[in-house]
Amino acid sequence: MGWSGPFLLLRRPRHPAIYGPILWMHVICRLAPYLQHRVICFTRDVAVLRDERHILFFIRTLTMMTDHDEERVIPGGGRMGWNGSVIGMVAVGLLGSIFPTSGHAIPAFSRQYGTSCSTCHWDFPKLNDFGKAFKDAGFKFPKDDESFLKVPPIMLGAPAQAELWPKVIYPGTIPGLPPISMRYNTFFQAVSGNRNNFDAQLPAGIPGTFIPRTDFQPGYFSIFTAGNFGGGIAFWADDDISVGGANSNGGLGDGYLKFYNLGRVLKLPTDSLNLRVGQFELDLPFSPARSWNLSGWDIFDEANIGVLNGLSPQQNVNNGFAFSNPAVGAEISGGYNYRGYHYSVAVVDQNTTGISAAPLNISPANGVGFVSDSNFKDLYGRFSYRFNLERDAANRNEVQAAGASGPHDHTYLRLGTMYFYGRSVQRFSGALSDGITPAVITAREPFYRVGGDVDFNYRTFNLFGVYMAGRDQNLLPFTPAEGSLPTGFTASRAATFNGGFLEADYLALPWVMTIMRWDRVGSTADRVNALQFDPANPPPSAYFSPYSATRNRFTPGIQFLIHANIKASFEYQIRPPQVVYNPATGEQLKGSFRTNSAVAGLEWAY
């Protein structure tokens, strides 16, 4: 963990045979009140991480000083006693030139705790183990939070009021400083020379959409706030004020309250029951909204659109749902993201059309419109289990914090599964059963998404991935022989897709992360639409992909932390081969080619 001023970052020794003398450490700890720097002494096996030369020396336990001390967890995975074994000093002449100072602060939480972005992040916004524990605890240090706060919270009522409730308002807190942060990014993109091959479909002399070879692009400017109101209640809200330089493209990301450890009322195990209410990203194994990559994971952006090719039976599927979109509803959850089990179950609004209703006769509570497009509420569930793989049982479940040398995450393997169920709604002009009387007919098409995920970490190497499959029932409008309008629907071939991604991140240096990623998505609609077209019934446009129509993308990348809150990123997107057809004749106009692109980004958080 980052601390201001010279410090000792203490961890268990890698080799049990390497121990330093006890006496001098005893002296430093006892002299600490008279010195001007900090030292942290573990009550068990400890080690001191020195400067960038990565020289480690280890010191055996100070048990004789701390056997009867009050123990408290310190960020880093051990315990410390406050009666003498945890002292905040190191002699300047002896150790002042050895230990690195802290980096720049993370937004909001950094100002509250006086610590670095690297305390909670590998490479912002990617969380390390301590960041996951911080989030699991309701945006607080998992233990002894008050002792680490540099800016104490403001009390909303006296603590004694808790004993008088419900006759008085239950006391709470607000952060001592307004926890408001900002984030902005900008990009530069270069595209391969065949980027305008698609214009070959147009008749001669008709100008098409021109794609420049290079382009500077504004990203998004976001403002967000998060914190804890005391009493186990946390809050989060973030809003993209502008996206792509246009204020109209922005919008609310997450905005919710989360009530932690409600299970204590029912005498359930600690942290086994939490409640989140508002607008939020579903509890996915990896967050698209807070991805550290320049481009998103394709499978989380996948919507399900039916076949448009006249050579094949049509599919009446037009489902705009994607996991990358925020959900509105309520979620219960429990467990931890940094060890053991974790689960969540959410009930959220159904909206696959993206249309909100604002009737004149009923005023929506938000003054804008009703979010749902049907009476049905979608269901989402997730369960995962993380195995921390250290041999030492005492350290296996401790919280690991990061330091100037980077994260000190557990070696772990996490396995998870997820399931989403909904009912897409489409309404059409039709007729009653007589085939004559006009009426609105509604197709309610059940759909599901099911997937699994794996996440493996060894020191600064992280390998993870997701596989997911989706299926939408396909209900085609049915028109009786004696009628002119559809009176109902008949089931036909379902619209399906599957795919996922596999990514490897390696923290080569505390400020350099290399990335290699493979994304794959394929669907029945893609494969059918990739075939040559019926000249008598051409679709609006050709599908620019070869017959296999599987969207494979390889994306190597690298990211650099200029400061702990300023990042430069680069990735090269190797896209799948594409083919351009004449939509009327099926004639191949352009042979197989790849439209690859290089993207560079620069962003900061404050």
Residues 118-174: pLDDT tens digits? 888 888 899 988 899 899 989 988 888 888 888 889 999 888 888 899 999 999 999
CB 396 within 8 A of CB 417: no
CB 464 within 8 A of CB 454: yes
Match 């299970």 to its residue by tokens: 263
Instruction: Please say if the pLDDT value at position 574 is more than 80.
Output: yes
Higher pLDDT, 466 or 445: 466
Nearest residue to 45 (alpha-carbon basis) of 338, 388, 398, 411: 398
Angstrom distances, CA of residue 541 to CA of 8, 198, 412, 538: 64, 10, 48, 8
Residue 77 to residue 59: CA distance in whole angstroms? 16
| Average pLDDT along the chain | 77
| CATH class of the domain defined by 172-605 | mainly beta
Q: Taking the domains of the chain in order of start, what are their residue ranges?
A: 1-101, 172-605
- Model confidence band, residue 90 (pLDDT cutoffs 50, 70, 90): very low
Residues 326-376: pLDDT tens digits? 999 999 999 999 999 999 999 999 888 777 777 767 777 766 777 788 889
Residue 257 to residue 368: CA distance in whole angstroms? 21
Q: What is the pLDDT of residue 500?
A: 96
Higher pLDDT, 151 or 189: 189
Residue 116 to residue 1: CA distance in whole angstroms? 8
Question: Structure pTM?
Answer: 0.77
